């Protein structure tokens, strides 16, 4: 698989096989993605690899926070409610396609909707959850570096037969993550990445999201 194929074939995988990922494989992936670029080579990323009992503990605590409707408080400004119309339309389309694919009426099927939401906080039952972090107070540019680093992980994972799902949703409860994993208070919880072997027969993994054509987001100046 070449780079262009990997970019086009990658998708957010929401169902995984009950098959462990070895520490050796995870190390090899991180040993590759450490060469990702960052502004002035500051390499502002840190990674918590969460597996086994600790992953189950974290999933349980995050799920309880959702059920109890605990206050959502990201360490950084997440998407605002004032998205431009075209971005709001894409956001709504994503939700609509997922709900249709899973046969959920969000207005009527409250139990199904809750279970759908909780799957995020259970990391879609992937065997590994990667928590990507950076330092507090160093500026928003570091988030760009984390995004590049995350993309490197997602593409490199394909080479090892693995799949991923990026998750900023879990970052809405950063204090729970810090407390459970004993992460220093000077760290920002940016996002998670579910990682594992994909269940290619799962219905949800048949879903693909639309992408705009180049003409819709590009202007050439000559």
CATH number at residue 54: 3.40.109.10
Specify the pairing of strand 187-196 against strand 128-135. Answer: antiparallel
Domain contains 39? yes
Domain contains 90? no
108's enclosing H/E stretch is: none
Distance (Å, whole) CA 172 – CA 117? 13
What pLDDT score was predicted for residue 162? Answer: 98
What pLDDT score was predicted for residue 37? Answer: 98
Distance (Å, whole) CA 137 – CA 78? 16
Number of structural domains in the chain: 1
- Give the domain range for residue 45: 3-80+122-206
Domain contains 65? yes
Give the pLDDT confidence of 90-129 residue by residue, as tens digits.
999 999 999 999 999 999 999 999 999 999 999 999 999 9
CA atoms within 13 A on the CB side of 175: 5
Domain contains 102? no
DSSP H stretches of helix in 50-188:
52-67, 85-101, 110-121, 141-159, 174-181
Domain contains 10? yes
Give the pLDDT confidence of 26-80 residue by residue, as tens digits.
999 999 999 999 999 999 999 999 999 999 999 999 999 999 999 999 999 998 8
């Amino acid at each position: 698989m070449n780079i262009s194929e990997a970019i086009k074939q990658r998708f957010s995988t929401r169902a995984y096989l009950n098959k462990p990922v070895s520490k050796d494989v995870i190390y090899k992936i991180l040993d590759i993605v450490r060469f990702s670029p960052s502004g002035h080579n500051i390499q502002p990323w840190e990674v918590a690899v969460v597996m086994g009992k600790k992953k189950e503990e974290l999933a349980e605590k995050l799920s309880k926070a959702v059920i109890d409707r605990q206050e959502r408080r990201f360490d950084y400004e997440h998407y605002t409610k004032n998205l431009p119309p075209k971005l709001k339309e894409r956001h709504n389309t994503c939700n609509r396609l997922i709900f249709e694919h899973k046969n959920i009426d969000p207005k009527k099927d409250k139990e199904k909707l809750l279970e759908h939401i909780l799957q995020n906080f259970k990391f879609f039952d992937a065997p590994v959850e990667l928590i990507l972090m950076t330092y507090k107070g160093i500026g928003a540019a570091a988030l760009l570096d984390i995004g590049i680093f995350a993309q490197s992980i997602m593409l490199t994972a394909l080479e090892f037969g693995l799949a991923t799902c990026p998750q900023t949703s879990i970052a809405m409860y950063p204090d729970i993550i810090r407390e459970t994993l004993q992460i220093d208070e000077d760290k920002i919880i940016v996002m998670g990445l579910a990682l594992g072997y994909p269940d290619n027969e799962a219905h949800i993994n048949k879903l693909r999201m639309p992408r705009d054509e180049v003409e819709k987001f590009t202007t050439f100046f000559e």
